[in-house]
Amino acid sequence: MAEMKTGAEIVLECLVREGVEVMFGYPGGANLPIYDALNFYPQIHHVLTRHEQGATHAADGYARVTGKVGVAMATSGPGATNMVTGIATAKMDSSPIVCITGQVGTSAIGGDAFQETDVTGVTLPVTKHNYLVTDVKELAYTIKEAFYIARTGRPGPVLIDIPKDVQNAKCEFVYPEEPIDLPGYHPAERATDEQVARALALINAAKKPVILAGRGILLSGATRQVLEMAEKGNIPITCTLLGLGGIPASHPLNMGMMGMHGEAAANHAIQEADLLLAFGMRFDDRVTGKLATYSPNSKKIHIDIDASELNKNVRVDVAINADLKVVLEQFNGDVEAIDRAEWLGAIREWQEDSSQRDIINTDDGIFRAAQAIFDVWRFSKDNNPVVVSDVGQHQMLEAQYFKHEKPHTLVTSGGLGTMGFSLPAAIGARFGTPQEREVWVIVGDGSIQMTLMELMTAVQENSNINICILNNGYLGMVRQWQQLFYDERYAETPILSPDYIKLAEAYGVQGMRVTNRDDTFAALEEARKHNGPTLIEFVVEQHDMVYPMVPAGADLHQMIRRPAK
């Protein structure tokens, strides 16, 4: 007879078998049994975040750098509802996390008990799948299924809600060794021969093709295959925000980021292209601009693991629902070697036009956010660091100026655009990154104040992260829109900050302030030397904008450019 275990023990037994080494969470009344059992599972390191939102972002950050499933835990009611933003963030960016929430006892469900919320109801639209486990005998299988669903197909967040009495109930524990087999869930794999033939015909006939590389190239592990195709056919590549790092930034075929704040040359190439190869991306409005005029003369091939993304925003000529890596292996051998010199030449001309407006080397005594970010890159690039950026101007500047050469080196909230993401996500990413590699946080003065309390989590974990706050005294991206589209009426965008140096001191963090570009390297060197969290405040020019910019709803090539000097 198998050993009897409580539901709480079964949860942890299953986590151990999933290879979980670290989890992020917050205890409370409805998950006390699990936390009590945690005393007997020292192989799982629990990180006490200061807010459940932080726990989900940390699990997400861990998942994004490791490719493994991140785990977050919270109690019922407010603990669980605090997770919603983090879950939605993971959903939009296809990040595999499993959230385990305590729930009031099964007999109390539906009665508005203390700290009761319909958590499976609340999280239904923002999870890939969720469960309310009402029988302890179903717990082990459910947890295994949850991890399987989270990491396979298009990854995403899965939530398991476990009533307190189920955590306390005992049953014979037999771990389900058989593989998960679900009637309604079969992630796609291969393309059909007919799809391959049609795609190949378009690729080999194209004179002006462009590869659009999204996060799918990372999730599918297809970065090598994408590059192989590009190099063979001399096909230029542009990345989405979440695709950055998938293709080395320094690669001559890589045009950089596309979209609203993308490289003008990349957007130009998309509009001029006769073939778009959309790989693991979803034609978000931030990358297409106005749909009616988007890449008007191109044929389009779209490969995505999620069939519901095909023909959702942009109508395509060949829609392939499959694993990108498998598909590219299916047809890379038949991609013809074509030099496409004329097309690459045209792109090079557009690129030169862009670089003339470059501001990183302007020496007019004004310290710009872009320059600070560029300097962080120059300083840290040889270390192959992980950069965790937040949301706003600094996020776009990071994408433009920090040159990512390796996959999984950028962690940022793309789809949901969650301010406050970076600090907790960096704490998670730190656990998933080898100690010799640095973790840099690029965050604005608005974003840092959204989840500032996680600074203490970083201290408690002696988390070796370097937090670079770009302080321009504004909610800069919103101010940019007010400046451009609301006649400079700055409603509620000026924002005060605390004295970050004193704040750092209060938290026991090493804090530095840089007001002049000449001092950046010294501060960065200091941060590097320090073991544990450091905070550098860069006091930067207040009114600088992110250029180029495609105004919302405009044609992709109608970019607002930085005014020439």
Partner 1 sequence: MKQTLIALVEDKPGVLNRVASLFRRRNFNIESLAVGHSETPGISRMTIVTDEEEKLRRNVVRENLLKLINVIDVDDVTEQPKVVRETALIKVRADATKRAEIMNIADIYRARIVDVATESLIVEITGDSGKIKSMADLLRPFGIIEMARTGALAMTRGVVTPRDTANYAKYAANGNGSI
Using CB under 8 A, list all residues that contact partner 1.
120-121, 124-125, 128-129, 132, 135, 149, 182-185, 306-308, 310-312, 315
- Identify whether 164 is a catalytic site residue: yes
Q: How far is the CB of 118 from partner 1 (least distance, A)?
A: 10
Closer Cβ to partner 1, 183 or 563, answer by number: 183
Closer Cβ to partner 1, 192 or 355, answer by number: 192
141 CB-near residues (< 8 Å, 6+ apart)? 176
Marked catalytic residue, from 164, 299, 300, 325: 164
- Identify whether 178 is a catalytic site residue: no
Residue bearing tokens 């005393």: 39
- Please give the Cα distance from 3 to 528 (Å, whole number): 49
Closer Cβ to partner 1, 138 or 555, answer by number: 138
Q: How far is the CB of 300 from partner 1 (least distance, A)?
A: 13
Question: To which H or E segment does residue 491 belong?
Answer: none
CA dihedral 499, 500, 505, 506 (to 10 degrees): 70
- Identify whether 367 is a catalytic site residue: no
Q: How far is the CB of 198 from partner 1 (least distance, A)?
A: 17
Are 305 and 323 a contacting pair, CB within 8 Å?
Answer: yes
Are 341 and 348 a contacting pair, CB within 8 Å?
Answer: no
Closer Cβ to partner 1, 146 or 247, answer by number: 146
| 481 burial type by CB count under 10 A (0-12 exposed, 13-18 middle, 19+ buried) | middle
Residue bearing tokens 């001029």: 272
Q: How far is the CB of 265 from partner 1 (least distance, A)?
A: 31
3-state secondary structure of 366: coil
Calculate the CA 485 to chain-centre distance: 29
Pull the structure tokens for residue 342. Answer: 């004329």
State the helix-helix crossing angle for 393-401 and 476-485, rounded to 10 degrees. Answer: 100
Marked catalytic residue, from 9, 13, 18, 52: 52
* DSSP structure string for 536-556: EEEE--SS---SSB--TTS-T
Closer Cβ to partner 1, 113 or 188, answer by number: 188
Pull the structure tokens for residue 148. Answer: 């399987």
274 CB-near residues (< 8 Å, 6+ apart)? 206, 207, 208, 209, 297, 298, 299
Q: How far is the CB of 235 from partner 1 (least distance, A)?
A: 26
Are 92 and 416 a contacting pair, CB within 8 Å?
Answer: yes
Marked catalytic residue, from 21, 115, 381, 406: 115
Closer Cβ to partner 1, 159 or 467, answer by number: 159
Marked catalytic residue, from 281, 477, 549, 559: 477
Q: How far is the CB of 125 from partner 1 (least distance, A)?
A: 5
Closer Cβ to partner 1, 158 or 206, answer by number: 158
Q: How far is the CB of 553 from partner 1 (least distance, A)?
A: 19
State residue 77 phi and psi, 5-degree precision. 55, -120
Marked catalytic residue, from 3, 4, 114, 207: 114
- Identify whether 52 is a catalytic site residue: yes
Closer Cβ to partner 1, 307 or 360, answer by number: 307
Pull the structure tokens for residue 473. Answer: 């005294």
- Please give the Cα distance from 415 to 90 (Å, whole number): 9
Q: How far is the CB of 489 from partner 1 (least distance, A)?
A: 32
Number of Cβ within a 10 Å radius of residue 180:
14
Catalogue the active-site residues.
52, 114-115, 164, 477
